[in-house]
Amino acid sequence: WPFYAPLILQINRLKKEKDAVILAHNYQSPQIYHGVADIVGDSLQLAIEATKVKQSIIVQCGVHFMAETSKLLNPKKTVLIPDSRAGCSLASSITPEDVIAMRAQYPGVPVITYVNTSAAVKAVTDVCCTSSNAADIVNGVAGDTVIMIPDQYLARNTAKKTQKKVITWAGSCEVHETFTAADIAELRHAYPTAKIIAHPECPPEVIDAVDFAGSTAAMIDYVKTQKPPRVVMVTECSMSDNVASEATGVDFLRGCNICPHMKRINLENVLWSLHTMTEEVTVADELLEPARAAVQRMIDFSK
Ligand code: 13P
Ligand code: SF4
């Protein structure tokens, strides 16, 4: 903290001077999450909060698709991302042309798109979803078959919660796909009294083996409300660090992976971003309305 304090102070001062708000995802490092963020949350919470922002500038501490979502919902505001190279293996796994080809292959089948996609992909889909509302949206759209892209694991984990046929795409999260059922068995052996909780971007055999699965916000909620004496959060490593200070009495055991994209954002480039008003996130005019509509339909579903 003594090392971070000067940067945190400067960011918080500049934020006020420039009329900026900082939205940070739950996977951001604690110095961002606790030090400078005004709003923290999972992808759904950040999208909903982005619709309520009063400030003229949004600094998105997260990955690029999250900043694009904020821009879609606030086309007149300036949206900054401290490092535009902060991508996502899911977002880069699918193009609009891929979606159009799937539509042609399955005419009339609704396309549900995870928010972890580009605005261009959102623009050719019917409704977005996040890990916290995926099952509700699959159940809420018309018909007995849906296309759910691009995360094959989220789609398969969601399919188990519905009666519908779910057509998948071959994308996956590079952070969560590497967890295995054997890892969970090892954790159980090493920490027999610990609760093991995981993100639904993990493969289904991992989800089957854990005590609870949910979005990052749902996992935080689980820890805060259930207060397990010992817990392993099978997800990005900053989650345990961020929630630890708010869940005293819980022993956090390590069983996590780092997301290199999320970790591109740091205090230095947040400060630089506010100083220089870079890097500005833009969305092509022709994509704005269709992509925004897909995100807004998701938000409306979640009300
Ligand atoms: P949620 O915060 O919506 O659970 O998403 C996790 C994630 O991987 C975001 O990149
Ligand atoms: Fe993408 Fe996975 Fe990183 Fe989330 S954790 S930003 S899904 S690569």
pLDDT digits (tens, 9 = 90+) for 218-227: 999 999 999 9
pTM of the model: 0.97
Report pLDDT for 245: 87
Beta bridge partners of 55: none
Average pLDDT, integer, range 15-30: 98
Average pLDDT, integer, range 281-294: 98
Q: Is 130 in the pocket of ligand 1 (CB under 6 A)?
A: yes
Above 90 in pLDDT, residue 13? yes
Residues 290 and 251 placed together within one structural domain of the fold: no
d(CA 96, CA 202): 25
d(CA 177, CA 16): 40
Average pLDDT, integer, range 43-59: 96
Q: Is 89 in the pocket of ligand 1 (CB under 6 A)?
A: no
pLDDT digits (tens, 9 = 90+) for 83-135: 999 999 999 999 999 999 999 999 999 999 999 999 999 999 999 999 999 99
Average pLDDT, integer, range 43-63: 96
Measure 175 CA to ligand 2 centroid, in angstroms: 6
Report pLDDT for 302: 80
Is residue 153 within 8 A of residue 204, CB to CB? The reply is yes
Q: Is 216 in the pocket of ligand 1 (CB under 6 A)?
A: yes
pLDDT digits (tens, 9 = 90+) for 148-190: 999 999 999 999 999 999 999 999 999 999 999 999 999 999 9
Residues 73 and 111 placed together within one structural domain of the fold: no
| Overall domain count for the chain | 3
Residues 238 and 292 placed together within one structural domain of the fold: no
Q: Is 42 in the pocket of ligand 1 (CB under 6 A)?
A: yes
Report pLDDT for 70: 97
Report pLDDT for 114: 98
Residues 57 and 113 placed together within one structural domain of the fold: no
Average pLDDT, integer, range 221-249: 96
Above 80 in pLDDT, residue 28? yes
282 φ, ψ (degrees, to nearest 5) = -125, 155
Is residue 151 within 8 A of residue 172, CB to CB? The reply is yes
149 φ, ψ (degrees, to nearest 5) = -125, 160
Report pLDDT for 146: 98
ipTM entry: 0.98
Average pLDDT, integer, range 17-25: 98
Residue with tokens 């799937």: 102
Q: What does each C-alpha distance from 164 to 132, 145, 146, 207, 236 come to in angstroms?
A: 18, 5, 7, 20, 30
**129 annotated as a binding-site residue:** no
Segments forming the whole domain that contains residue 221: 181-258
d(CA 300, CA 298): 5
Residues 96 and 153 placed together within one structural domain of the fold: yes
Strands 127-129, 145-149: pairing kind: unpaired
Helices 285-301/43-50 angle, 10° precision = 110
197 φ, ψ (degrees, to nearest 5) = -125, 145
Above 70 in pLDDT, residue 2? no
Residues 20 and 61 placed together within one structural domain of the fold: yes
**278 annotated as a binding-site residue:** no
CATH of the domain at 52: 3.40.50.10800
Ligand at minimal distance from the CA of 199 is 1
Three-class secondary structure of residue 95 per DSSP: coil
Measure 136 CA to ligand 1 centroid, in angstroms: 17
Q: How many residues does the chain have?
A: 303
Residues 165 and 189 placed together within one structural domain of the fold: no
Residues 251 and 122 placed together within one structural domain of the fold: no
pLDDT digits (tens, 9 = 90+) for 196-225: 999 999 999 999 999 999 999 999 999 999
Measure 17 CA to ligand 2 centroid, in angstroms: 32
Residues 69 and 82 placed together within one structural domain of the fold: yes
Average pLDDT, integer, range 75-79: 96
